[in-house]
């Protein structure tokens, strides 16, 4: 019996399966959501389908896909109150919902959809019916009230939703620079960790930008094996780490901060992209900066230390682990953040490069892959079964190309249905 089960296991694991890539796009006719599938062994395009398209969907932006692939959710960027949430089923049926204020974050967890809004609320939604199951209004639940949710991290082991709140409101009536935890079994707030504002020289004064008066936590990562709660600190150009078990009790304990800038200065790096990988059975993070000097920090969660700062350009896009290639990959959106007299300034400087980080040894190395056109997004074809990656490039009409990280010639390519806004395979931090 054991031999028979082993044989079945080996047979099943000898097959590779197409894993859809979903992306939002915009074009002269409007916009929509599309699905792209490729053979993870050969890299040949198997299917490329627009799931929905309409003149009304030009502002579709962020995407989230349920764990079973049955639902896709998307928000309409810069749209408040009126049909600004799209819930799409795998059979092509969809509905539009009106969520109060603008949606700035959305993520699935345990078959429910969670939304964060600019009015300081988080909503839990049944994606099948579109019904709002629970609402947390953090302007009323917290003291002082919370400005708005920025990023979500789900602690799968303990059933906790962690939320970062980045900026203050003008006048500081509603405040950010805090991390909030919700026990999803009871739906109660169990932690409101207000982070130290201990670099006032990096803050902006109220008459310039009263919102920028704290470390501005952004990207969260939870690692129970190392007992670490991790967050990027945008305005401080740093990352912070603390004890996860204490955070679950509402305490900020053993809090340490570390500059991610190549020259180790404070307030200039603006780290805002994070990817995770495993080496020697331990979790590490790559943290990419949007400051003018770029740089990507390697974070050892077990020792809560930055072990390297790699030479890389500013403004990387999502960082993805490709285990079959022993690497992490990223596109290069070219986003650049700088300090201006009137507050933080942002611009984009597109680049014809994508990055490959070799994470197979204790010392991480990085290589720059040059292309003929600007690079927008890079994503895995199949994280567990393939070394291949999608590379999205182009000026006006974007093209999806499939590469092996070690080769410069694509296996296959297909024209996208428009300018690619965001793509979703599996969230890089899940």
Of 111 and 247, more confident: 247
Helix (H, G, I), strand (E, B) or coil at 87: strand
Q: Taking 60 as the threshold, does the pLDDT of residue 165 lie above it? A: yes
* Position 9 confidence tier, pLDDT thresholds 50, 70, 90: very low
The pLDDT value given to residue 349: 84
The pLDDT value given to residue 404: 87
The pLDDT value given to residue 18: 73
Q: What percent of the chain is modeled with pLDDT above 90?
A: 77
Of 251 and 19, more confident: 251
* Position 228 confidence tier, pLDDT thresholds 50, 70, 90: very high
CA 220 to chain centre: 9
Give the full edge-to-edge strand order of the sheet including 132-137. Answer: 103-109, 112-117, 121-125, 132-137
The pLDDT value given to residue 392: 93
Q: Taking 60 as the threshold, does the pLDDT of residue 354 lie above it? A: yes
Of 15-24, 33-42, 246-255, 325-334, the poorest mean pLDDT is in: 15-24
Q: Taking 80 as the threshold, does the pLDDT of residue 397 lie above it? A: no
Confidence (pTM): 0.92
Q: What percent of the chain is modeled with pLDDT above 70?
A: 95
Q: State how far the Cα of 383 lies from the Cα of 133, in Å rounded to an integer.
A: 32
* Residue appearing with tokens 């190309």: 401
Average model confidence (pLDDT) across the chain: 91
Q: Taking 60 as the threshold, does the pLDDT of residue 6 lie above it? A: no
The pLDDT value given to residue 256: 98
* Residue appearing with tokens 């009106």: 98
* Position 13 confidence tier, pLDDT thresholds 50, 70, 90: very low
The pLDDT value given to residue 223: 97
* Position 426 confidence tier, pLDDT thresholds 50, 70, 90: low
- CA distance readout (Å), 268 to 92, 288, 291, 393: 45, 13, 6, 29
The pLDDT value given to residue 16: 57
Rounded average pLDDT over 51-63: 91
Q: State how far the Cα of 364 lies from the Cα of 358, in Å rounded to an integer.
A: 6
The pLDDT value given to residue 19: 86
Q: Taking 50 as the threshold, does the pLDDT of residue 387 lie above it? A: yes
* Position 408 confidence tier, pLDDT thresholds 50, 70, 90: confident
In sequence order, what DSSP letters do the residues of 188-242 get, joined into one string? EEEEEEEPP---GGGSPPHHHHTT--S--EEEEEEEGGGTEEEEEETTTTEEEEE
The pLDDT value given to residue 110: 87
Of 124 and 425, more confident: 124
The pLDDT value given to residue 414: 96
Q: Is the peptide bond before 294 cis (omega within 30 degrees of 0)?
A: no
Q: Taking 80 as the threshold, does the pLDDT of residue 427 lie above it? A: no
Q: Taking 80 as the threshold, does the pLDDT of residue 88 lie above it? A: yes
Q: Taking 60 as the threshold, does the pLDDT of residue 12 lie above it? A: no
Q: 221: closest CA among 153, 158, 275, 150?
A: 153
* Position 11 confidence tier, pLDDT thresholds 50, 70, 90: very low
The pLDDT value given to residue 170: 86
Q: Write the DSSP symbol of residue 36.
A: E
């Amino acid at each position: 019996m054991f031999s028979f089960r082993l044989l079945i296991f080996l047979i099943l694991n000898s097959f590779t399966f197409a894993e859809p890539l979903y992306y939002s796009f915009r074009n002269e006719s409007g916009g929509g959501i599309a699905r792209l599938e490729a053979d993870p062994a050969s890299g040949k395009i198997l299917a490329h389908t627009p799931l929905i398209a309409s003149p009304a969907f030009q502002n579709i932006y962020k995407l989230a896909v349920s764990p079973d692939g049955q639902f896709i959710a998307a928000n309409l960027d810069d749209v408040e109150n009126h049909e600004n949430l799209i819930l799409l089923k795998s059979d092509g049926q969809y509905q539009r919902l009106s969520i109060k204020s603008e949606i700035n974050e959305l993520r699935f967890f345990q078959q429910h959809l969670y939304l964060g809004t600019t009015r300081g609320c988080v909503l839990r939604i049944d994606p099948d019916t579109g019904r709002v199951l629970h609402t947390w209004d953090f302007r009323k639940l917290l003291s002082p009230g919370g400005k708005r949710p920025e990023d979500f991290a789900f602690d799968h082991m303990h059933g906790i939703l962690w939320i970062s709140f980045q900026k203050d409101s003008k006048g500081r009536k509603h405040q950010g620079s805090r991390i909030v935890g919700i026990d999803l079994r009871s739906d109660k707030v169990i932690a409101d960790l207000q982070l130290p504002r201990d670099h006032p020289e990096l803050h902006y004064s109220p008459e310039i930008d009263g919102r920028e008066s704290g470390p501005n936590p952004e990207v969260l990562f939870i690692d129970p094996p190392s007992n670490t709660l991790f967050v990027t600190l945008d305005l401080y150009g740093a990352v912070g780490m603390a004890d996860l078990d204490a955070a679950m009790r509402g305490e900020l304990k053993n809090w340490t901060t570390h500059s991610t800038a190549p020259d180790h200065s404070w307030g200039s790096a603006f780290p805002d992209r994070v990817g995770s990988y495993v080496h020697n059975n331990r979790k590490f993070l790559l943290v990419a900066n949007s400051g003018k000097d770029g740089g990507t920090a390697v974070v050892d969660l077990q020792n809560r230390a930055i072990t390297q700062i790699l030479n890389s350009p500013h403004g990387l896009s999502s960082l993805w682990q490709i285990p079959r290639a022993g690497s992490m990959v990223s596109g290069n959106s070219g986003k650049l953040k700088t300090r201006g007299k009137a507050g933080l300034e942002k611009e984009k400087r597109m680049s014809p490069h994508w990055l490959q980080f070799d994470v197979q040894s204790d010392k991480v190395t990085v290589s720059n892959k040059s292309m003929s056109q600007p690079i927008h997004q890079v994503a895995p074809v199949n994280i567990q079964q393939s070394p291949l990656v999608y590379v999205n490039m182009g000026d006006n009409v974007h093209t999806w190309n499939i590469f092996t990280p070690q080769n410069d010639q694509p296996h296959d390519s297909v024209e996208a249905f428009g300018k690619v806004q965001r793509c979703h395979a599996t969230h890089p931090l899940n």
